[in-house]
């Protein structure tokens, strides 16, 4: 291995491990929860870049919010995590947009970069901003990010470590951009409407026992962690249980987006 290797210098294990991670992740992207199938739609990627870590510059509003990034040792970026190139806890399956277009070789941290580390389970001092949702190595993404309709937002109060991780993740992967990630919003909107219909059936006094049982079955399917956009759908269920008028507003906004391709006037942009 050369002193400063490039990605091509690492032997690819993609064909050997792709199905393992697709199964672990329920065939959905670890960053945006989009379903990914086949060789074209997905990448097996290194969570921590193997050859080089590019410099990600936080928007000014993030710096004001308290995001502090560890400066690279070299102005053009740090060398990669060579020792983790083949570590199973440094692999993940993601969609092409999240990996190739948005994440690239970024890996922003707030702590001390541990480029020679050999075990991701012992690297919490790096204080990574990106969230690794496989296994129990990291925080549950659902504890950091929640949804207001189709829109992700931080779950924790402003200024907390959890809040900062959420806003950086949402920003880098453009999870709240209805223009760049139009198909992502479309998928959320369709599933929100489908789940809402089942929630109405289940709670309708006019529904038969058989209809309610069928609705229960579909609700369980929608909320299963192996399904796409589970976090978004769980938040709809919570909103429905809390205030049905709030849930109805979410569905009205989803319908507006599906029919026009844009957000309604009272939706966040």
| In a shared domain, residues 130 and 230 | no
Q: What is d(CA 130, CA 115) in angstroms, rounded to the nearest whole number? A: 16
C-alpha atoms less than 13 angstroms from C-alpha of 196 in its C-beta half-sphere: 25
Asked if residue 128 belongs to a domain, the reply is yes
| In a shared domain, residues 214 and 140 | no
| In a shared domain, residues 115 and 196 | no
Asked if residue 265 belongs to a domain, the reply is no
| In a shared domain, residues 40 and 158 | yes
Domain end position, chosen among 172, 207, 225:
172
Asked if residue 269 belongs to a domain, the reply is no
Contact 31, 103 (CB under 8 A): yes
Domain that holds residue 160: 7-172
Please give the tally of structural domains in the chain. Answer: 2
Asked if residue 143 belongs to a domain, the reply is yes
Q: What is d(CA 94, CA 173) in angstroms, rounded to the nearest whole number? A: 11
Q: Cα Rg for the chain, rounded, in angstroms?
A: 20
Asked if residue 239 belongs to a domain, the reply is yes
pLDDT in tens, the chain (269 residues): 566 666 665 666 666 778 888 888 888 999 999 998 765 556 788 999 998 999 999 999 999 999 999 999 888 889 999 999 999 999 999 999 999 999 999 999 999 999 999 999 999 999 999 999 998 899 999 999 999 999 999 999 999 999 999 999 999 999 999 999 999 999 999 999 999 999 999 999 999 999 999 999 999 999 999 899 999 999 999 999 999 999 999 999 999 999 999 987 677 76
CB crowding 234-267: b at 16 or more within 10 Å, else e: bbbbebbeeeeeebebbbebbebbeeeeebeeeb
Asked if residue 76 belongs to a domain, the reply is yes
| In a shared domain, residues 138 and 202 | no
Contact 84, 132 (CB under 8 A): no
Asked if residue 55 belongs to a domain, the reply is yes
| In a shared domain, residues 119 and 233 | no
Domain end position, chosen among 172, 204, 227:
172
Q: What is d(CA 247, CA 197) in angstroms, rounded to the nearest whole number? A: 11
| In a shared domain, residues 68 and 148 | yes
CA-based nearest residue to 34, from 127, 119, 98? 98
**pTM over 0.75, yes/no:** yes
| In a shared domain, residues 82 and 151 | yes
């Amino acid at each position: 291995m050369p002193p400063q290797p490039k990605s091509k210098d690492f032997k690819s294990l993609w064909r050997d491990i792709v199905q393992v991670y697709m199964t672990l992740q329920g065939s959905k992207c670890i960053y945006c929860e989009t379903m990914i199938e086949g060789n074209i739609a997905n990448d097996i990627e290194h969570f921590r870049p193997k050859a080089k870590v590019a410099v990600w510059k936080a928007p000014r509003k993030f710096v004001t919010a308290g995001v502090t990034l560890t400066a690279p040792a070299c102005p053009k970026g740090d060398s990669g995590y060579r020792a983790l190139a083949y570590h199973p806890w440094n692999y993940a399956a993601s969609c092409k947009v999240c990996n190739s277009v948005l994440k690239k070789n970024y890996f922003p941290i707030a702590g001390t970069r541990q480029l020679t580390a050999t075990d991701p389970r012992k690297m919490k001092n790096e204080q990574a901003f990106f969230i690794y949702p496989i296994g129990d190595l990291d925080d549950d993404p659902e504890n950091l990010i929640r949804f207001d309709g189709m829109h992700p937002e931080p779950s924790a109060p402003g200024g907390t470590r959890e809040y900062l991780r959420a806003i950086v993740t949402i920003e880098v992967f453009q999870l709240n951009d209805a223009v760049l990630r139009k198909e992502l919003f479309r998928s959320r909107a369709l599933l929100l409407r489908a789940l809402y219909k089942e929630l109405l059936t289940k709670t309708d006094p006019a529904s038969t026992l058989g209809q309610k049982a069928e609705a229960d079955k579909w609700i369980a399917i929608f909320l299963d962690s192996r399904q796409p956009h589970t976090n978004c759908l769980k938040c709809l269920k919570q909103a429905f249980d809390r205030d049905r008028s709030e849930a109805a507003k979410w569905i009205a906004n989803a319908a507006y987006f599906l029919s026009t391709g844009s957000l309604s006037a009272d939706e966040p942009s």
